[in-house]
Structure 1
Amino acid sequence: MIDPRNSAVGPGRHSRHPAVLFAVVLGWGGTSIESRATDDFEREVAPVLLSRCVECHNPGERSGGLDLTTREGLVAGGVTGPVVEPGDADGSYLLARVDDGEMPHPEQGQPRPLSAEEVGQLRRWIEAGAGWPEGRTLDRFERTTDSRAGRDWWSLRPIERPGIPAVRGLDRVSTPVDSFILERLEANGWEPSPRADRRTLIRRVSVDLVGLPPSFEQVEAFAADDRPDAYERLVDRLLASPHYGERWGRHWLDVARYAETSGYERDQLRPDAWKYRDWVVDAFNDDLPFDRFVLEQLAGDELPDRSERTAIATGFLRLGTWNDEPNDPDEYTYERLEDLVHASSTAFLGMTVKCARCHDHKFDPIRQEDYYRVAAAFWAGFVTPGPRELLGGPPAEAIGYEGVLGWTDRDRTPPPFFLLRKGDPGRPGPEVGAGPPSMVEWLDRPFRDPPEGARTSHRRLQLARWIVDPANPLTARVWANRIWQHHFGEGIVRSPDNFGFTGEPPTHPELLDWLASELIEGGWSTKRLHRLIVLSRTYQQASAPEGRVACRDADPSNRSWWRADRRRLDAESLRDALLLAGGRLERHRLGGPSFAPEIAGEALEGLSMKGGAYQASPAEEQRRRSVYILAKRGLLHPLMTTFDFMDTTLPCGRRDVTLVPPQALTLLNNAFVHEQSTAAARGVLADDGGTEGRIRGAWRRILARDPRDSEVELAREHLRRRRDRPDGPDAELWAMASLCHVLMNTNEFLYVD
């Protein structure tokens, strides 16, 4: 807060000699003053110093030579001498700088000058003798202020299982989820939306859980099923489907920044990366407990029951980009370490730890040392400096299994690891031991040496166990929020990768904590949490209810969850739905090497090595589900990127959802879309039901319902006009393909209500 070097008010303003002031300050420790000062200091003074001063005046920064975190630092003063004269606020340099408006500096992150109340609190404290509790050290990370989060930030507090709220509308409660939502709605005098109809509901839950729309026959069967548990049976069937893992595994692959090539100019293929994808799919299908899911990905090679499968899981650590010829191999080692820290902390903790590589985090209680403590957990997998070929990761013989893209340590005792000043490898600072970030105080402990006989450092295993410790407040909250987000389109925390100060607070913190505690107490079962959510009345609400004007006007972004949100199919679901409508989707082949889809020649022009650089897979391979598309960083499939496929270089907990002209143009003109509409037309024409029967067949195949009378008439006219255009025997096919193409361009096909 104070920088005497920039002051126009010199030390001559003080009426006492520094030596006299020092003697007075040393007398602050009197018992009567000390006991009286403690409560006042904590209530009035500490909050001001923490929020407005110690950001710049701390042992690491000492702006103006002043440290305001301890009594000793205050006594020592700054470069111009003492800053406080006990009992004389007007003669204190600290108040002079504040009164002159020179402190705090706005450019140093302070959003505003001290308020009159804050100045008054400092003045009263100084006039009363500037008492400071014995042994008290102010830690700028200890509490939240208006400019940064402290260790008391909401996401860092212990998860406390809340009681289920009592609500009036018990008829609207299917699972405890509804009680938490209804409590807020009833407090506002709002009515939740009614249940969606059954045809809407089966499409919604099918796309959510398996990524595929239901067939006409499935829709009709569910609509006619009058058993009271019909919906519950549907949910259980979908969760048991092998396609569930394909759908939900894809969500995790986004978070894991999954791709099968190295990026950069050569963008080399990693032939075994697909095995990690299959491990993820299988993990979801098997409902692998989430704590085990974390352990295997960070330390599958260090587990007591390690196997080839757990070694494959460590591919999570190998999925980042890789430059095989960096300008500075030593510096690039630290860039790869940054990727590991960022991917791990973002995926599992929802915190941006990598921001502390060069300095203490500007907004969250993450010290620079914390970054290097986490990075040190991965240090045993590197050499510094190392041969260029080793930068890609450990060799196969080190992992212990052939054909596995995995991670392991090169030695049980890695070389010393040092904090880098300003993140610069050329400016090493003090040595740092491996450990977790210190933001969770009750779990802040250094890592132990590896057990006797271990061949690895066991640092990653200790980091993973810290992450999944039930007392860790972040992990269960972050995962429960990710699950909620993929069911509703938005998370309870709408910044799923950032639970810190610059992220969004939860709309329903008690609900989030209840879900997190349910996750832990339920053995970390993801499928169990799915059931609690999708069986709720909140999930089953209609998306376009009538008569909810108050809700619409007061909460247009639906932060109270008073209705369902209409959502567009994501890139994979859209491509799969097109293949399904065309009758060409190969659903029964799960896993195995990825396929390379057909890509237009224009899109290949940017490749540095055009000749033979990209070869599409055989046509039958390209009918597989989109989760199995080759994820080539330098050449992502244009259809997928048009519909907001993720950037594969960084973890992505929430894809962008855009509405732009190229999407409409792609659906109208893309060759793949036309192929599917033609295939759908062939299937429709194969049924000899006359014009009306064929129209009905097109609607059932593409929209999973029968057409309305008005739609039949419009379709008849459309077919008539199209038949009149081309010559030859394909006129009927051309006309029907045109009709199918129209249906594939409708909002009803593209969106889920």
Structure 2
Amino acid sequence: MRWRKLLLVFAIAPFASGPTAANEANFETEVAPLLIKRCVECHQGRDPSGNLLLTTAEGFHQGGDSGPVIDLENLGASYFLHRVADGEMPPESRGQSQKLPDEEIEVLRRWIVGGAKWPEGRVLDLFERTSDVRGGRDLWSLQPVERPAVPQLESLQQPTNPIDAFILARLEQEQMQPAPTASKRELLRRLYFDLIGLPPTLAQIEAFEQDDSPQAFDQVVDQLLDMPQYGERWGRYWLDLVRYADTSGYERDQEKPFAWKYRDWVVAALNADMPYDRFVIEQLAGDELPQRTEASVIATGFLRLGTWNDEPNDPLDYQYDRLEDLVHTTSSTFLAMTVKCARCHDHKFDAITHEDYYRMASAFWAGPIATRARSLLGGPKPNELGATEVLGWTDLGPTPPPLHVLKNGEREVPLDEVVPASLSMIPALEKTFDAAPEGSKTSHRRLQLANWIATAENPLTARVLVNRIWQHHFGQGIVRSPNNFGFLADPPTHPRLLDWLADEFVQGGWKIKRLHKLILTSKTWQQSSTHPTAAEYAQKDSTNRLWWKSERRRLDAEALRDAMLAVSGELDLRVGGPGFRPSIAAAALEGLSKKSAAWNPSPADAQTRRSLYMFSKRGLLPPMMTTFNFSDATQSCGQRDVTTVPTQALVLMNNPFVHDRSSKLAKSIIENAKHPQDQVAQLWSIVYGRKPTAAETQLAQQHLETQLNRFEKLATTSSQETPAPSAETRAMASLAHVLLNSNEFIYID
């Protein structure tokens, strides 16, 4: 031991010089941040690495398995400094050394040789402050929402809409100008797809273009927000978030009975402009409300939408996997925080402790997730929920069994019993959950969790929702990682605007339609997608983080399919009810073990409903939809991918659904117009919502003539028993198909 001590003295020789008052390290400003950033992650809690606790003075001076970490007789030769100086601490990560920078080692040296002074009673907390490696409880998204003053512009004209003031203030700083306002035709088409997911007709466009009243735009916004199709459009975005599907996944992929009722509840709630705080509470605890209704119980289907394995390899382990799904979906959807990452340990990047994960999980621990309730509709009988034929959730009793924090997430290594409570990342709102009221049939933990999420004081809830609304109107959110407001989030482009919108949303009664109108009436949303100095501005801001123009966007899978049905005159606008099963090509069924029984499409007349009502089978999603980035419903999806790939062009050219719409449109046009020029004009007005130019008319007529000659020749040599469509119809269908494949139809300017 004496030899080892001499060796350490030799190794730390450069540190042996004594300190002076001038260069002694300050614990709070230099040492504490460094220990929290580099050491506390491993050396904290009930089981610190090497039994060395570095959160308190007592733990530090006591040392660990290797003995004392400082030498009181020769502070400069302390073991702690030796391990840090030679790069042994922090330990290697993924085979790479994490040796501290020289300036950080120097801070520790000055602190140690200065006496390693530790303020009395000071306890270090891994998440007490944000560093460049992880977020703390002081992270921007966890701070209270404070309404900022609306910026006053200096060189640009002060706008009437506060949104524009925040956007223009940043552009003014960068000496940039916004794009001009889009044309009225572009605005109306954009507005229709934004709010109801369907294209306007030529008559609607012309009426808007001819209305010069100041209220014209506002009136159209109000009309669209009042249409039942609004809830269908915006309900689809919510279904992505809650991993909605009609089946359970895994090998059986069996149907979830009555899952469609939850889908219809979402649509109805949005159409009724249900306040968002109530919207949250009903989904998490609609069965625990004092005045619960059948609708509020249906809302708890949110908790039942995840994948479900009715024959897991280990049922006891599987109940913890189900808990993880519930924790992840709840925290991602409502809070944009990845709480599931703390199942096995403290979160690597965010102020979410290991215990926090189990705190949230305890709210669902009383429900139908354990082996004692393995059936899909497990738990109490439906009539006990106050409803019949419902895929809903309720607790199995008021007093659930204890839930323990699990070491490394392993069921067989339980640690302390968790005390049901809110997350600890917002200390001012931290709350331990009360026991169930006397006589209650449920634990009331979910209701307390829901109230904690939906309180106006929770800084995440309103910020996350207004960011999602902004995202779907602009293509990107103010925070461009909509399901992650943590340390790894893309920082907000306009944090003051985000807070202003969040406060305005809450002060406005949590009403989503009011928020829509505020955004849509801004000049920022109404900008053109083209800018006179786009090339120059793209050098400064290639991803348009300053919102200096509108973004041209491709229709998503549902809007594209629905728009084709709309222009062909086939769209069935019935609202609600069980979903339809679309026709799927035989090639897509080849991988299934029971091809004939696996998929039975609905009758053709039932397949013309909106895509929202398409039966969503996790193991068999329609290829046309997935090609255009339909969500796979495995987990919460805050933002779909938007790809441009060759298979999309192939689908539009070859898919039977697209050809059928072209044929239907062609038949309708031929029945209503006899002259080719009139037919072309009608086709353009239906598909594009405008009249064709002279050049387009000429090219279209040439196309019709060429295709007519071709199909007439084919008809004379055909020996088909079933009469084929006329050559005229096939030629017109060919032209219609060209338009349905065009960028003008597929993209929104």
Q: 2:301 aligns with which of 315, 324, 332?
A: 315
> How far 1:687 sits from its partner (Å)?
2.1
2:250 counterpart SS class: coil
Q: Is residue 669 from structure 1 mapped to residue 654 from structure 2 by the alignment?
A: yes
Q: Is residue 239 from structure 1 mapped to residue 225 from structure 2 by the alignment?
A: yes
> How far 1:305 sits from its partner (Å)?
1.0
1:537 equivalent in structure 2: 523
1:644 equivalent in structure 2: 629
1:725 counterpart SS class: helix
2:415 counterpart SS class: strand
Query: 2:477 corresponds to which letter in structure 1?
Result: G
Q: C-alpha offsets along residues 575-620 of structure 1, whole Å, 9 cap, x if unaligned?
A: 0001011111112x11111111111222222222223332211222
Q: 1:527 aligns with which of 504, 510, 513?
A: 513
8 Å Cα contact 1:265-1:608 kept in structure 2? no
Identify unmatched segments of 5+ residues in structure 1: 1-6, 17-32
> How far 1:419 sits from its partner (Å)?
1.6
CA distance in 1, matches of 2:649, 2:316: 47
TM-score w.r.t. the length of structure 2 is 0.93
> How far 1:91 sits from its partner (Å)?
2.2
Query: Residues 493-508 of structure 1 correspond to what in structure 2 (within 5 A)?
Result: 493-508=479-494
CA distance in 2, matches of 1:116, 1:325: 56
> How far 1:162 sits from its partner (Å)?
1.1
2:349 equivalent in structure 1: 363
Q: 2:544 aligns with which of 550, 553, 558?
A: 558
Change (3 A) 1:294 1:214: same
2:736 equivalent in structure 1: 740
Q: 2:592 aligns with which of 607, 611, 614?
A: 607
> How far 1:710 sits from its partner (Å)?
1.0
Which stretch shifts more, 421-430 or 87-96? 87-96
Query: Residues 564-713 of structure 1 correspond to what in structure 2 (within 5 A)?
Result: 564-587=550-573, 589-688=574-673, 690-713=675-698
2:405 counterpart SS class: strand
8 Å Cα contact 1:87-1:129 kept in structure 2? no
8 Å Cα contact 2:528-2:549 kept in structure 1? yes
Which stretch shifts more, 174-183 or 453-462? 174-183
CA distance in 2, matches of 1:290, 1:196: 31
Q: C-alpha offsets along residues 44-103 of structure 1, whole Å, 9 cap, x if unaligned?
A: 211111112212222345333321111111111232332234696522222222222332
Q: 1:730 aligns with which of 721, 726, 735?
A: 726
1:419 counterpart SS class: strand
CA distance in 1, matches of 2:205, 2:9: 87
Q: C-alpha offsets along residues 200-250 of structure 1, whole Å, 9 cap, x if unaligned?
A: 011111100110111111111111111112111111111111110000011
8 Å Cα contact 1:37-1:132 kept in structure 2? no
Q: 1:350 aligns with which of 336, 339, 350?
A: 336
> How far 1:698 sits from its partner (Å)?
0.5
> How far 1:684 sits from its partner (Å)?
1.4
Query: 1:697 corresponds to which letter in structure 2?
Result: Q
Q: C-alpha offsets along residues 700-729 of structure 1, whole Å, 9 cap, x if unaligned?
A: 010111111111111111111001011257
2:55 equivalent in structure 1: 69
Change (3 A) 1:318 1:679: same
Q: C-alpha offsets along residues 1-37 of structure 1, whole Å, 9 cap, x if unaligned?
A: xxxxxx9994455779xxxxxxxxxxxxxxxx9xx99
Query: 1:710 corresponds to which letter in structure 2?
Result: A
Structure 1 moving runs of 4+ over 6 Å = 36-39, 108-111
Change (3 A) 1:428 1:707: same
Query: Residues 120-159 of structure 1 correspond to what in structure 2 (within 5 A)?
Result: 120-159=106-145
Query: 2:735 corresponds to which letter in structure 1?
Result: L
Change (3 A) 1:171 1:197: farther
Query: 1:708 corresponds to which letter in structure 2?
Result: T
Which stretch shifts more, 728-737 or 315-324? 728-737
Which stretch shifts more, 99-108 or 695-704? 99-108
1:4 equivalent in structure 2: none
8 Å Cα contact 1:333-1:391 kept in structure 2? no
Which stretch shifts more, 591-600 or 735-744? 591-600
> How far 1:553 sits from its partner (Å)?
0.9
Query: 1:694 corresponds to which letter in structure 2?
Result: Q
Query: Residues 180-191 of structure 1 correspond to what in structure 2 (within 5 A)?
Result: 180-191=166-177
Q: C-alpha offsets along residues 532-556 of structure 1, whole Å, 9 cap, x if unaligned?
A: 1111111011112222333111111
Query: Residues 39-118 of structure 1 correspond to what in structure 2 (within 5 A)?
Result: 40-85=26-71, 90-107=76-93, 112-118=98-104
8 Å Cα contact 1:287-1:527 kept in structure 2? yes
Q: Is residue 752 from structure 1 mapped to residue 748 from structure 2 by the alignment?
A: yes
1:527 counterpart SS class: helix
Which stretch shifts more, 117-126 or 218-227? 117-126
TM-score w.r.t. the length of structure 1 is 0.93
Q: 1:291 aligns with which of 277, 280, 285?
A: 277
> How far 1:38 sits from its partner (Å)?
12
CA distance in 2, matches of 1:259, 1:605: 22
1:167 equivalent in structure 2: 153
Q: 2:243 aligns with which of 243, 250, 257?
A: 257
> How far 1:385 sits from its partner (Å)?
4.2
Which stretch shifts more, 473-482 or 103-112? 103-112
Q: Tell me the C-alpha RMSD between the 2 structures.
A: 2.3
> How far 1:387 sits from its partner (Å)?
5.4
CA distance in 2, matches of 1:613, 1:641: 19
CA distance in 2, matches of 1:228, 1:383: 56
8 Å Cα contact 1:542-1:563 kept in structure 2? yes
1:453 equivalent in structure 2: 439
CA distance in 1, matches of 2:269, 2:640: 22
CA distance in 1, matches of 2:279, 2:96: 41
8 Å Cα contact 1:50-1:138 kept in structure 2? yes
8 Å Cα contact 1:38-1:133 kept in structure 2? no
CA distance in 2, matches of 1:693, 1:172: 48
- Alignment length (residue pairs): 728
Q: Is residue 300 from structure 1 mapped to residue 286 from structure 2 by the alignment?
A: yes
CA distance in 1, matches of 2:406, 2:80: 34
8 Å Cα contact 1:254-1:646 kept in structure 2? yes
Which stretch shifts more, 355-364 or 244-253? 355-364
CA distance in 1, matches of 2:102, 2:375: 62
CA distance in 1, matches of 2:381, 2:315: 18
Which stretch shifts more, 456-465 or 256-265? 256-265
8 Å Cα contact 2:429-2:458 kept in structure 1? yes
> How far 1:149 sits from its partner (Å)?
1.1
